[in-house]
């Protein structure tokens, strides 16, 4: 009788304990999800530093192999060379823009007048003028918010410095960070974690090779096309287009703006042909060249890379668009290594595996 009474008394207590455990679990899951959302920008900056560290590490290995230079000086030389490439390209472009600025200012009004006359001749002048006036109003609003954009640009510079310094620290001794991360894993997961890190590093290096090939092709095509059209600073503009090719979809648009402005110094017709050139190169690069090159380098299906840009931009914003390709490579490799090979036990070839 006493045992039965004790069992009946313990049932409510056991039920309350389960409810409390479930409640704490739900709160913990919500807390982790909230923390992840709050730290999204920080996590993307860390990932950007890791990607840049992989680039530095691969360049340092190449320099060391070619010159038999110790890793430290080879890494320093790689970093200086990469920064010099970026700075040199934009300095070349900036000098040309400065020389052509007055010509640009003088060329744009008559060019716009010619465009307006052309639109009038085909009967859409009034609609185009109303659209232009609306656009001018929007530009005025944007200019009134210039202070906010300056602050955003300052924040972007600070983020770039943070990513650059973090990448240098990681690339200087990647083994230490790798061992530290593996030590945080449960004993039974250490082997999988180690192989996953190796696969991710190899996949990112493959992406880097593919991206370098894509950027080189874009730079050559842009330089050749602009040179044939007679646009000033074709070489510098081609180099900038190649560098900005790292940014999917948005990069070609940013690269096209100065090219079109300089094309106006030649004639409005050349500016129109320049727009067509960039549209052609963007379609060729975005829908054919880059997906196929990356598939050969990393073996990720082209459609996955293509749609990943939209998904990453929706979730993570501009940083997501910028890092869409390497992020896709990492996620794809992790799914293959951790889920398909380890959990499901299926023998599949991991992307980027040599």
Which residues touch 70 (CB under 8 Å, ≥6 apart)?
A: 64
**Mean confidence (pLDDT) of the chain:** 74
Q: Is residue 67 part of a domain?
A: yes
Which residues touch 203 (CB under 8 Å, ≥6 apart)?
A: 298, 329, 330, 332, 333, 351, 352
Q: Is the pLDDT of residue 274 over 70?
A: yes
pLDDT band of residue 143 (cuts 50, 70, 90) is very low
| Helix, strand and coil percent figures for the chain, each rounded to 5 | 90, 0, 10
| pLDDT at residue number 115 | 61
68-78: per-residue pLDDT in tens?
888 888 888 88
Q: Is residue 143 part of a domain?
A: no
pLDDT band of residue 90 (cuts 50, 70, 90) is low
173-200: per-residue pLDDT in tens?
888 888 888 888 888 878 888 888 888 8
Q: Is residue 165 part of a domain?
A: yes
Q: Is the pTM of this model over 0.85?
A: no
User: 23-37, 120-134, 287-301, 332-346 — which is least confidently predicted?
Assistant: 120-134
| pLDDT at residue number 243 | 78
What's the CA gap between 136 and 156, in Å, rounded? 27
More confident residue, 175 or 140: 175
Structurally, the chain folds into a number of domains equal to: 1
More confident residue, 33 or 146: 33
- DSSP notation for 65-82: HHH---HHHHHHHHHHHH
More confident residue, 266 or 149: 266
Q: Is residue 20 part of a domain?
A: no
pLDDT band of residue 328 (cuts 50, 70, 90) is confident
Q: Is residue 221 part of a domain?
A: yes
Mean pLDDT score, 271-295: 78
| pLDDT at residue number 135 | 45
User: The tokens of 345 are what?
Assistant: 């036990």
Euclidean distance between the first and the last CA atom of the chain, given in angstroms as a whole number = 71
Q: Is residue 136 part of a domain?
A: no
Q: Is residue 127 part of a domain?
A: no
Q: Is the pLDDT of residue 64 over 50?
A: yes
Mean pLDDT score, 197-224: 84
The answer to whether 265 and 298 are in contact (CB under 8 A) is no
Q: Is residue 166 part of a domain?
A: yes
User: The tokens of 219 are what?
Assistant: 């730079």
Quick one: CA dihedral 265, 266, 272, 276, positive or negative? negative
User: The tokens of 46 are what?
Assistant: 């860390």
What is the four-CA torsion angle of 211, 214, 215, 217, rounded to 10 degrees?
160
Domain range for residue 216?
40-116+153-343
């Amino acid at each position: 009788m006493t045992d039965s009474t004790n069992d009946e008394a313990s049932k409510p207590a056991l039920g309350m304990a389960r409810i409390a455990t479930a409640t704490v679990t739900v709160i913990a899951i919500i807390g982790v999800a909230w923390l992840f959302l709050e730290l999204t920008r920080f996590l993307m900056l860390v990932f950007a530093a890791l990607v840049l560290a992989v680039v530095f590490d691969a360049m340092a290995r190449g320099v060391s192999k070619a010159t038999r230079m110790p890793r430290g000086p080879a890494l320093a030389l790689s970093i200086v060379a990469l920064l010099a490439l970026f700075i040199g390209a934009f300095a070349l472009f900036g000098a040309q823009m400065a020389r052509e600025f007055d010509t640009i200012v003088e060329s744009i009004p008559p060019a716009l007048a010619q465009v307006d006359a052309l639109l009038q001749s085909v009967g859409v002048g009034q609609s185009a003028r109303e659209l232009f006036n609306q656009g001018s109003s929007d530009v005025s609003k944007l200019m009134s918010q210039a202070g906010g954009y300056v602050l955003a640009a300052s924040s972007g510079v600070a983020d770039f410095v943070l990513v650059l310094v973090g990448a240098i620290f990681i690339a200087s001794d990647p083994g230490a960070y790798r061992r530290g991360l593996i030590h945080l894993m449960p004993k039974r997961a250490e082997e999988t974690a180690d192989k996953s890190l190796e696969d991710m590093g190899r996949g990112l290096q493959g992406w880097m090779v593919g991206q370098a090939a894509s950027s080189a092709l874009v730079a050559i095509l842009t330089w050749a096309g602009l040179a044939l059209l007679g646009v000033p600073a074709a070489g510098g503009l081609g180099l900038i287009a190649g560098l900005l090719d790292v940014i999917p979809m948005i990069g070609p648009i940013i690269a096209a703006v100065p090219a079109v402005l300089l094309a106006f110094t030649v004639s409005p017709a050349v500016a129109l042909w320049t727009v067509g050139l960039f549209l052609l190169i963007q379609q060729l690069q975005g829908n054919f060249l880059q997906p196929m090159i990356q598939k050969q380098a990393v073996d990720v299906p082209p459609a996955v890379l293509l749609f990943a840009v939209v998904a990453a931009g929706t979730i993570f914003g501009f940083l997501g668009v910028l890092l869409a390709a390497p992020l896709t490579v990492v996620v794809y490799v992790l799914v293959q290594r951790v889920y398909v090979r380890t959990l499901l036990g299926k023998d599949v070839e991991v992307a980027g595996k040599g």
